[in-house]
C-alpha cells in the first residue's frame, strides 16, 4: 500500500519525483479518449525505469501462443492491443546536453491529472549534470471532443544561463510490447513524410495488417512570440521520423513547444488514403490551436461529468477515489464504436492485453447505462452480436453443434485468445454474463427493438450451448454440468459449480421468455429468426426438461448452496486465520495448494445471488453471505463490490463500507502492489456500483427506479446522477434525508423502500428517511 498521492477532490497530485514510484504514476496519470490512450510517460527522454505505453483501440496483434504443452482446441494466438507509434516524444538538448530526469537533480516536481478538465500536467525544475537549471511546464491531453487528436504544450525556460536549445519532436513507430511472446516486434514500416504541415509516419501491423498513420505538427514560440532564426532538420530512420529545431535562447526566456498530433487507422480509413486524411485533420486541428482544443476538451468533459459525477461530502479521499474511477472509465470507453470494448486495464498497461472479458457484461454495463446515452450500453451489446458467428465457430471447435455459441473468455475480434485450458474450456460462465447483460440492458432501457433485431439470436445460441453442455446423470437422475471453472478461479475442473448451473438454467428460461416476446410482438421477425437458426420444437422440449431437472448442489444442514460438489470435503479454513504473511495467496502459495484449499478468489455463489437476488429470500442471502465471505480472499478486484452490494442489502452498513474501501482507492493507494502494471479499469465500474447499487440500493423494480439508501457514517452526504430512459435525476443522500431532483420535462415516479413518490418535471422532492 502506498500513500503518496495527495488528497484533492478533482485532481490526482504527486509532488516530488521518486523514480521508484514512476511506473505506478505512469499508470495512475494515464490519459485516453476511448479511441486511444497512453501511460503518463514523459515527453522528454527518460533513461530510468518506465513502461512505455501508447495504444490505439481495436488495433491488435495475434501474438503466437506460448504454451508448455499443446492441447487440441487451444487458440493458436494470444491477441493483444499493442504498443503503437509514440507521438509524445520531444527530446530536449541544452547546449548539447540531453534533458533526462534520471540524470538530473529535480526540484519542485509536480504531476497533476486534472480530472474535471481532462488533462495531464507536469512541472519541475531540473539541474542538469552541467549545473544548469531549466524550468519545465508540460500539459498534454487526448481530446475527447475529437478522438483522433492529441495535444502537448511543453514550455521550457533556461533559468540561469543563455543556451542553445535543440528540440527533437518525434514520431517513433519502432516500438515493442514488453509482454511480446518470442520478442516479436509487431509493426512494419509503410512510409513517412514531412510537409509544411508536419511530419507523418505510417506503419502496418504484421499479420492483421492494420495501418496506422500518425501526424504531428510542432510549433515554437519564444516569450509568446513566434520563434525566429530556427535551424531546422528532418530525421528519418526506419519506422521513425522527427523534426529538429535549434535556437539560441536568452536566460529567463520561455520556449513554448506546441505539438499537435493526429492518429488515424485503417479501421476507419482506406490504407492508401490514410496519410492524406491524417494531414487534413492535422491541419484543421492545428488551425484551432492548443487553447481552442483545450477549451473543447474542457467542455466535453463538463458534459460527461454532468451525467456521471458523484459528489461525496465529508471524505475527500473517497471523493477523489470515485472521480478517479469514473474518469478512467470514460477515458477507456466512450461507446461511439461498437467494434471497441473495455480491457480490464484499459489503455494503462499491457496486462490482460486490452482484450474483452466477461467484466464488461457483468460489471461495466450498469455504469454506462446510468451515466451515458443509451447507445453507449447498446454498442457494448452489439459488439457481442457481431461476434456471434465466431462464438459459434469457437463452440464447434470444441465439439458443439447446431448453432450453439460459446463466447470467448478473452477476445479482441470474437475469437478466443486465452490458452489456459481451465479458463478457455471451462470458465464457461462468461456465456451467461453475456445473456444477463441483454436482460439488464432491456430491463433498464425497455429497448425491446434490440431484442428483436439482435438479442434473440444471441440468447438462442447461448441456450443451445448450455443444453449441450449439461448431461443427464443416471446416478442422480438430474442434469449435471461437469468439468467447469466458476468465477472463483481458485478451483478448476469442478463438477456442478452452483453459479454456472444456476446461470445456465436462467439463460434457458430467459431465452424462452425472449422468444415469446418476439413471437407475440413481431411474428414475422420471429419466424425469420427461427428459420435462420433452424430452430425446432424438440429443442424447446429439451430446454424445458433441463429447466425442470437440473441439479443444484445444496447443503441441507447449513442451508446453503454449495459452490460445487464436494466443496465441504475440503478442510474448512477462514481467511481471518490465515497469517498476513501468507497473503495474497496467489503470490505466496503454490497453485496446487491454492486449488486444494477452500479459499475463494472472488464472489462465486454470491455472484449468483447478486444477479438473481429476487429469487432468494433475505435469510437465504444472509446464510450464504455469512458462510462464503469469511472464506473469500478477494484476490480479484471484481470481488469486493459484489460483497458491498450484498452487505448493504443485508443492512450491514459497516461491512458494506469496508468492502467499498477495498476498491475505491485500489489503484490510487496501490493496494495490491500491482498498479505499475496498469489500472483495474473494469473493477472501477464495480466501485460505482458499490455507491449506487450498494449505498443507495438502486434497482429497477416494477419498471421504476427503486432505492433503499443509507449513508456511510464517515460521509456527510453523497450525490449522484442517473440517466434513466431519457430522463436525468440527481439524487442526494444526506443524514436522514434523500433529495431527488427531476431534471427531465415530465413527471417521474420512483420508489424508496416501500413507498412510491411522484416528482413533477423540473422540480425536486425531499424525503425524510427517518420516518
Ligand atoms: C478474474 C476474472 C476477470 C479477469 C480480468 C481475473 O483475475 O478472476 O474474473 O475476468 O481477472 O479482470
Cis peptide bond prior to 431, omega within 30° of 0: no
Q: What is the distance between the alpha carbons of residues 249 and 662, in angstroms, rounded to a whole number? A: 51
Of 286, 308, 330, the residue that ends a domain is 308
Per-residue pLDDT at 2 exceeds 90: no
Q: What is the pLDDT of residues 151-174, one digit of tens each?
A: 999 999 999 999 999 999 999 999
pLDDT band at 683 (very low <50, low <70, confident <90, very high): very high
Per the CB < 8 A criterion, the answer to whether 257 and 152 are in contact is yes
| pLDDT, tens digit (0-9, with 9 covering 90-100), for 490-513 | 999 999 999 999 999 999 999 999
Residues within a 6 A CB radius of ligand 1: 344, 352, 357-359, 487, 489, 601-602, 636, 638, 682
Q: Is 702 part of a structural domain of the chain?
A: yes
Decide if pLDDT at 183 tops 90.
no
Q: Is residue 663 part of a domain?
A: no
pLDDT in tens, 559-603: 999 999 999 999 999 999 999 999 999 999 999 999 999 999 999
- pLDDT digits over 613-624, tens only? 999 999 999 999
| Residue 658 placed within a domain | no
The answer to whether residue 699 scores a pLDDT higher than 90 is yes
40 vs 478: CA distance, rounded Å: 55
Residue 216 lies in a domain: yes
Name 321's Cβ contacts closer than 8 Å, sequence gap at least 6.
664, 665, 668, 687
Domain limits at 769?
A: 696-771
Residue written as cell 522528454? Answer: 44
Mutate to test the pocket of ligand 1, among 638, 678, 679, 680 (most ligand atoms within 8 A of CB): 638
Active site includes 489?
A: yes
In the listed set 284, 308, 332, which residue is the last one of a domain according to the structure? 308
Among 106, 121, 185, 178, which Cα is nearest to 153's?
121
Atom of ligand 1 nearest to the CA of 409: 10
Q: What is the pLDDT of residue 229?
A: 82
Q: What is the DSSP letter of 597?
A: S
Q: Are 347 and 332 in contact, with CB atoms under 8 Å apart?
A: yes
pLDDT of residue 249: 96
For residue 76, give the CATH number of its domain.
2.70.98.40
Of the pLDDT bands very low, low, confident and very high (cuts 50, 70, 90), residue 1 is confident
Q: What residue owns the CA closest to ligand 1's atom 5?
A: 344
Radius of gyration of the chain (CA): 27
How many domains does the structure of the chain reveal?
A: 2
pLDDT at position 72: 87
- How far apart (Å, rounded) are the C-alpha atoms in residues 705 and 703? 7
Q: Ligand 1: which atom is nearest the Cα of residue 430?
A: 10
pLDDT by residue (tens digit) across 289-307? 999 999 999 999 999 999 9
- Residue 322, SS3 per DSSP: helix
CATH label of the domain that carries residue 727: 2.60.420.10
Residue 637 CA to ligand 1 centre (angstroms): 8
pLDDT in the model for residue 419: 84
Q: How confident is the model at residue 450 (pLDDT cuts 50, 70, 90)?
A: very high
> Ligand 1 test: best mutation among 426, 427, 603, 636, most atoms within 8 Å of CB?
636
- Strands of 737-742's sheet in order across: 310-313, 717-724, 727-734, 737-742, 763-768
For cell 478538465, name the residue: 117
- Res 68: pLDDT: 81
Q: What distance in angstroms lies between residue 601's CA and the mean position of ligand 1's atoms?
A: 10
What pLDDT digit, counting tens, does each position of 413-429 carry?
Answer: 999 998 889 999 999 99
Cα 636 to ligand 1 centre (Å): 6
Q: What pLDDT, on the 0 to 100 scale, is given for residue 335?
A: 97
Å from CA of 344 to ligand 1 middle? 8
* Residue 523 pLDDT greater than 80, yes or no: yes
Tens digits of per-residue pLDDT, 235-285? 999 999 999 999 999 999 999 999 999 999 999 999 999 999 999 999 999
Nearest-CA residue for atom 12 of ligand 1? 344
Helix (H) or strand (E) holding 420: none
Q: Is residue 712 part of a domain?
A: yes
Q: Which of 492, 534, 483, 541 is nearest to 512 (CA)?
A: 541
Per residue in 704-741, pLDDT (tens digit) is: 999 999 999 999 999 999 999 999 999 999 999 999 99
Q: Is residue 122 part of a domain?
A: yes
* Residue 649 dihedral angles phi and psi, to the nearest 5°: -65, -35
pTM recorded for the entire structure: 0.97
Strands 748-752 and 704-707: parallel
pLDDT of 67 reads: 83
Q: How far is CA 163 from CA 159, 247, 252, in A?
A: 10, 8, 10
Domain final residue pick, 308, 336, 354: 308
Taking only the tens place, the pLDDT of each residue in 199-240 is 999 999 999 999 999 999 999 999 999 998 899 999 999 999
Catalytic site residue from 279, 426, 489, 635? 489
The band of 316, judged by pLDDT with boundaries at 50, 70 and 90, is very high
Share of the chain above pLDDT 90, in %: 94
Q: Which of 137, 121, 144, 130 is nearest to 94 (CA)?
A: 130
Answer whether residue 446 is part of any domain: no
Mean pLDDT over each residue of the chain, to the nearest integer: 96
Spatial distance between the Cα atoms of 559 and 495, rounded to a whole number of angstroms: 20
111-152 tens-digit pLDDT:
999 999 999 999 999 999 999 999 999 999 999 999 999 999
- Cα torsion 344, 349, 353, 359 to 10°: value is 0
Dihedral angle sign, alpha carbons of residues 214, 219, 224, 230 = positive
- At residue 268, the pLDDT reads 98
Domain annotation covers residue 90: yes
Q: Is the pLDDT of residue 771 over 80?
A: no
Pairing of strands 727-734, 77-83: unpaired
Amino acid at each position: 500500500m502506498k500513500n503518496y498521492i495527495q488528497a484533492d477532490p478533482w485532481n490526482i497530485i504527486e509532488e516530488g519525483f521518486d523514480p521508484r514510484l514512476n511506473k505506478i504514476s505512469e499508470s495512475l496519470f494515464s490519459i485516453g479518449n476511448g479511441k486511444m490512450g497512453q501511460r503518463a510517460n514523459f515527453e522528454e527522454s527518460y533513461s530510468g525505469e518506465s513502461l512505455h505505453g501508447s495504444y490505439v483501440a481495436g488495433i491488435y496483434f495475434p501474438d503466437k501462443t506460448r504454451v508448455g504443452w499443446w492441447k487440441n482446441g487451444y487458440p493458436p494466438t494470444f491477441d493483444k492491443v499493442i504498443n503503437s507509434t509514440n507521438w509524445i516524444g520531444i527530446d530536449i538538448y541544452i547546449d548539447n546536453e540531453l534533458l533526462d530526469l534520471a540524470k538530473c537533480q529535480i526540484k519542485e516536481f509536480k504531476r497533476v491529472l486534472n480530472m474535471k478538465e481532462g488533462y495531464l500536467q507536469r512541472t519541475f525544475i531540473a539541474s542538469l549534470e552541467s549545473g544548469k537549471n531549466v524550468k519545465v511546464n508540460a500539459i498534454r491531453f487526448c481530446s475527447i471532443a475529437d478522438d483522433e487528436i492529441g495535444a502537448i504544450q511543453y514550455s521550457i525556460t533556461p533559468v540561469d544561463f543563455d543556451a542553445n536549445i535543440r528540440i527533437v519532436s518525434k514520431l517513433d513507430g519502432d516500438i515493442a510490447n514488453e509482454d511480446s511472446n518470442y520478442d516479436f516486434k509487431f509493426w512494419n514500416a509503410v512510409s513517412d513524410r514531412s510537409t509544411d504541415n508536419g511530419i507523418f509516419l505510417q506503419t502496418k501491423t504484421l499479420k492483421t495488417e492494420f495501418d496506422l498513420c500518425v501526424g504531428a505538427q510542432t510549433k515554437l514560440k519564444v516569450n509568446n512570440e513566434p520563434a525566429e532564426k530556427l535551424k531546422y532538420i528532418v530525421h528519418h530512420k526506419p519506422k521513425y521520423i522527427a523534426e529538429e529545431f535549434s535556437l539560441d535562447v536568452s536566460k529567463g526566456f520561455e520556449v513554448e513547444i506546441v505539438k499537435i498530433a493526429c492518429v488515424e487507422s485503417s479501421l476507419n480509413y482506406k490504407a492508401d488514403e490514410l496519410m492524406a486524411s491524417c494531414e487534413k485533420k492535422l491541419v484543421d486541428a492545428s488551425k484551432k490551436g492548443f487553447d481552442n482544443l483545450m477549451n473543447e476538451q474542457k467542455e466535453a468533459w463538463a458534459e460527461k461529468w454532468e451525467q456521471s459525477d458523484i459528489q461525496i461530502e465529508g471524505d475527500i479521499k473517497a471523493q477523489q477515489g470515485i472521480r478517479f474511477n469514473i474518469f478512467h472509465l470514460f477515458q477507456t470507453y466512450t461507446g461511439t464504436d461498437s467494434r471497441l470494448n473495455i480491457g480490464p486495464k484499459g489503455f494503462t498497461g499491457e496486462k490482460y492485453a486490452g482484450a474483452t472479458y466477461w467484466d464488461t457484461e457483468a460489471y461495466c454495463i450498469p455504469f454506462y447505462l446510468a451515466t451515458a446515452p443509451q447507445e453507449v450500453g447498446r454498442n457494448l451489446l452489439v459488439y457481442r452480436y457481431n461476434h456471434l458467428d465466431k462464438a459459434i465457430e469457437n463452440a464447434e471447435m470444441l465439439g458443439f453443434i447446431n448453432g450453439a455459441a460459446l463466447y470467448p473468455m478473452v477476445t479482441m475480434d470474437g475469437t478466443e485468445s486465452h490458452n489456459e485450458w481451465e479458463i478457455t474450456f471451462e470458465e464457461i460462465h462468461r456465456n451467461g454474463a453475456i445473456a444477463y447483460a441483454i436482460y439488464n440492458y432491456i430491463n433498464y432501457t425497455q429497448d425491446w427493438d434490440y431484442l428483436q433485431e439482435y438479442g434473440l439470436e444471441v440468447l438462442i445460441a447461448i441456450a443451445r450451448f448450455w443444453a449441450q453442455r449439461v448431461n443427464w446423470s443416471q446416478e442422480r437422475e438430474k442434469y449435471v454440468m461437469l468439468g467447469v471453472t466458476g468465477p472463483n478461479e481458485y478451483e478448476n475442473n469442478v463438477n456442478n459449480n452452483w453459479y454456472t448451473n444456476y446461470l445456465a438454467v436462467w439463460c434457458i428460461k430467459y431465452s424462452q421468455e425472449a422468444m415469446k416476446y418476439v413471437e407475440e410482438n413481431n411474428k414475422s421477425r420471429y419466424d425469420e429468426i427461427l428459420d435462420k437458426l433452424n430452430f425446432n420444437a424438440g429443442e424447446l422440449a429439451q430446454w424445458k426438461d433441463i429447466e425442470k431437472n437440473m441439479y443444484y448442489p445444496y447443503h441441507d444442514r447449513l442451508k446453503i448452496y454449495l459452490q460445487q460438489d464436494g466443496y465441504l470435503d475440503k478442510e474448512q479454513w477462514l481467511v481471518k486465520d490465515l497469517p498476513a504473511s501468507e497473503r495474497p495467496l496467489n503470490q505466496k502459495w503454490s497453485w496446487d495448494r491454492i486449488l486444494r484449499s477452500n479459499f475463494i478468489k472472488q464472489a462465486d455463489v454470491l455472484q449468483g445471488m447478486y444477479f438473481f437476488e429476487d429469487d432468494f429470500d433475505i435469510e437465504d442471502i444472509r446464510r450464504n453471505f455469512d458462510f462464503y465471505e469469511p472464506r473469500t480472499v478477494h484476490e480479484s478486484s471484481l470481488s469486493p463490490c459484489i460483497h458491498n452490494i450484498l452487505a448493504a442489502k443485508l443492512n450491514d452498513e459497516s461491512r458494506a463500507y469496508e468492502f467499498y474501501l477495498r476498491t475505491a482507492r485500489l489503484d490510487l493507494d496501490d493496494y495490491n502492489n500491482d498498479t505499475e502494471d496498469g489500472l483495474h479499469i473494469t473493477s472501477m465500474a464495480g466501485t460505482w456500483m458499490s455507491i449506487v447499487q450498494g449505498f443507495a440500493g438502486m434497482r429497477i423494480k416494477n419498471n421504476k427506479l427503486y432505492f433503499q439508501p443509507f449513508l456511510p457514517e464517515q460521509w456527510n452526504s453523497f450525490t449522484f446522477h442517473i440517466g434513466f430512459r431519457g430522463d436525468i435525476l440527481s439524487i442526494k443522500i444526506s443524514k436522514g434525508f434523500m433529495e431527488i431532483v427531476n431534471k427531465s420535462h415530465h413527471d417521474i415516479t420512483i420508489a424508496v423502500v416501500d413507498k412510491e413518490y411522484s416528482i413533477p418535471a423540473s422540480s425536486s422532492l425531499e424525503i425524510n428517511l427517518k420516518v
